[in-house]
Amino acid sequence: MNSNWQRKLGDKIIRPRRIRGLHLKRVLGVAAVFSAGYGNVGSSIYYALGIVALAAAGATPVALAIAGILFVFTALTYAEGTAMMPEAGGSASFAIRGFNRATGFTAGWALLLSYIATISMSAFTIPPYLGYFWEPLKHSPMIGTSVAIGIIFLLMIVNVIGVKETSIINIGASILDIVTQITLIVIGFILLYNPHLLLHRIVDNWPSTENLVLGIALASIAYTGIETASQMAEETRRPEKRVPRAIIMMIFAVLAIFAGISIVSFLAMSPRELGYVWGHDPVAGIASKIPIQLLADILKPLIAVLAGTILLIATNAGLIGISRLAFSLGQRKLAPKVLSKIHPRFQTPFISIILFSLLAMLILVPGFFSPRVFENVGALYAFGSLLAFMFSHSSIISLRIREPDAPRPFYLRGNIRIKNYNIPLTAVLGLLMTTAVWVVIVITQPYSRWVGLSWMVLGLLTYLIYKKTSNKQPHA
C-alpha cells in the first residue's frame, strides 16, 4: 500500500463495522452480584411456598428447611467453582474443566431447560399477584395465561432489541423486596404469633412420607437461582473474591427470609388454604390476613406491585441468562453456531432469544385448560436445575482429584481425605442429596419425567449430529 496516499475529494471511505469483543466488561461489585442472585432466588418464594404446600401440607416449613440445607451445600460448591473459573457458563464451565466437553454440553443443556422453566414460572405468577387490581387476572385461567405469554413475548422483543437492565434497578428492587419481606415477617409475628395454632396446623396436617419427600423435592425450586451469581462472574471486578462473598450473603439472607415467611404463612392460614386458595400468590395471602385493616390495606397493593416487579425482573433475567448460556455454548463449539448468531443491527443473540422464548411460551399453553400447569412447570424447573447442580457438585469433586494444586481463591473446608486427595464433604453431601431429590422428581412427576428426559435426549442427538457434521466441514 502506498504510504503517501492522501484522501482526495470524492473518495469513498469504507470503515469496518466494530465488532464487540467476546469478553464482557468487568464493572460489577458485590452489591450488584448479590442483588441479581437474590432477585432470582428470592423471587421464587412468591410461588414456591404455594407449590410446596400442595404436596407437603403441614410439613411445608420442614420441607423448605431441608431443601435449605441442600441450598447451602450447592451455594458453597458454586462459590469454589466460580472463584476458580470466573467466567459466564456456571455448571457448564465447571463440567467442561472437571470432565470433558460432552459433559459440559449436557450440563449446559440441562441448565437451558431450567432457564426455560424459570421464564415460564416467573411470568405465570405475575398475573395472580396483579389480580389485586383486577380479579380476573387471578381467577381466569384464560386471562392469566394469556397475560403471562404476552409478558414473555414483550420481553423477547425487548431483549432482541437489546434494551439493557441496570444493576442500580436490580439493587433497588432487591433492597425494597428484602425490606418489605422483613416487614411482613415482623408484623406477622407481632400480630399473628400463636405457637399452639402453629403446632396444631403442622401436626394435624402432617403429610404421608411419600408426600413429605415430594414436598422436599419441590421445595428445591425455592433455591434454584444460585446459577445467576455464577453467570455474572465474567462481568464482576475481582470475581474470585466478590462472587463468593455475594453468595455467602445470599445464603444468610435467603434462609432467614424463607424461614420467616414460611412460619408466618402458617400463622396466617391453614396449609390447605395456602396451597389451594393462595397457591399462586402465597405472599399476597399473608398480607390479606393481617388483622389490622389499615396495615392490610397498605401491604396488599404493595405486595402486588413488588411481587409483579420482582417476578418481571426474574423473567427478564432468565431470558438474559439463557441467551448468554446459548451464546457461550455456540462460541465454545458445543452447540450449533446458529445459537450464537448476532443480530447485525442490535448486536444481540436474537435467534437464541426468540427460540427459547417461544419454548417458554409453549409450555404455558396447557394453562388455558389444565389446572396442573403450575405444579408441572415447577417440577420441570426442579428437574433441570437439580440436574445442573449434580454436574456442579461432581465437577468440583473431580477437579479436586484432577487438579489438586490448581489455585482456588475460595477453598471449601471440611474435607475428607481419600487417597491423598481433599474431597469437600459439602460437595459430596450436596451431590447425594441433589441426586436423591432429582430421582424423586423423575419417579413421582410424569410431566417433568417425560418432558425433561425428552429434552435431554433431544440435546444428546443435537450434540452428536452437530459434532458429526462439524467434523466433516473442510478446515480453512
pLDDT in tens, 262-279: 999 999 999 999 988 998
Close Cβ partners of 444 (under 8 Å, ≥ 6 residues apart): 210, 214, 217
188 domain residue, yes or no = yes
Cβ neighbours of 107 (radius 10 Å): 28
Residue 18 lies in a domain: no
Phi and psi dihedrals of 205, rounded to 5? Answer: -120, 25
Name the nearest CA neighbour of 110 among 391, 327, 436: 391
Confirm whether 214 is domain-assigned. yes
Please choose, from the candidates 307, 34, 356, 368, the residue with its C-alpha nearest in 3D space to the C-alpha of residue 177: 307
pLDDT at 164 over 80: no
Label the pairing between strands 415-418 and 421-424.
antiparallel
Would residue 418 count as lying in a domain?
yes
Query: Which domain does 302 fall in, by range?
Result: 30-467
**pLDDT the model gives residue 339:** 79
CATH (domain of 270): 1.20.1740.10
3-state helix, strand, coil in the chain (%, to 5): 75, 0, 25
- Considering only CA atoms, which of 98, 319, 124, 117 is closest in space to residue 224? 117
* Lowest-confidence region among 48-57, 95-104, 140-149, 155-164: 155-164
**Scanning the structure block, which residue is given the C-alpha cell 399452639?**
196
CA–CA gap between residue 336 and residue 451 (Å, rounded): 22
Type of residue at 114? S
Task: Tell me whether residue 384 is in a domain.
Answer: yes
Contact 315, 155 (CB under 8 A): yes
Distances (CA, A) of 18 to 21, 149, 344, 345, 438: 9, 35, 11, 11, 45
Question: How many other CB atoms sit within 10 Å of the CB of residue 240?
Answer: 17
Flag whether 131 is in a domain: yes
pLDDT value, residue 32? 73
Tell me what pLDDT residue 167 has. Answer: 56
Q: How far apart are CA 35 and CA 16, in angstroms?
A: 38
Q: pLDDT by residue (tens digit) across 392-419?
A: 999 999 999 999 999 888 888 888 988 8
The H-assigned helical ranges of 278-331 are 282-288, 293-331
Instruction: Please give the DSSP secondary-structure letter assigned to residue 193.
Output: -
DSSP letter at 275 equals I
374-392: b (≥16 Cβ within 10 Å) or e? bbbbbbbbbbbbbbbbbbb
Question: Burial code of 395-412, b = ≥16 C-beta within 10 A, e = fewer?
Answer: bbbbbbeeeeeeebbbeb
pLDDT digits (tens, 9 = 90+) for 171-208: 777 788 888 889 999 999 999 999 999 999 999 999 99
* Residue range 229-241, pLDDT digits in tens: 666 666 677 777 7
Q: At what angle do helices 293-331 and 167-192 cross, to 10 degrees?
A: 140
How far apart CA 354 and CA 368 sit, in angstroms, is 22
Q: Report pLDDT for 472.
A: 62
Q: Is the pLDDT of residue 470 over 50?
A: yes
Q: How far apart are CA 251 and CA 120, in angstroms?
A: 25
pLDDT given for residue 220 in this prediction: 83
Mean residue pLDDT of the chain comes to 84
Distance CA 219, CA 437 (A): 10
The string of DSSP letters for 103-154 reads: HHHHHHHHHHHHHHHHHHHHHHHHHHHHTTTSTHHHH-HHHHHHHHHHHHHH
Classified as helix, coil or strand, 422 is strand
Q: Does residue 363 belong to any structural domain of this protein?
A: yes
Tell me the three cell numbers of residue 22. Answer: 467476546
What sign has the CA pseudo-torsion 144, 175, 247, 169?
positive
CB 287 within 8 A of CB 131: no
Q: Which residues pair with 424 in a beta bridge?
A: 415
Tally of structural domains, the chain: 1
Q: How many CB atoms lie within 10 A of CB 146?
A: 16
Judge whether 372 lies within some domain.
yes
Alpha helices for 162-292 (secondary structure H): 167-192, 195-203, 209-219, 227-231, 239-268, 271-272, 282-288
Q: What is the pLDDT of residue 321?
A: 78
Q: What percent of the chain has pLDDT over 70?
A: 88
- pTM here? 0.84
* pLDDT band with cut points at 50, 70 and 90 for residue 330: confident
Give SS3 for 421. strand
pLDDT at 166 over 60: no
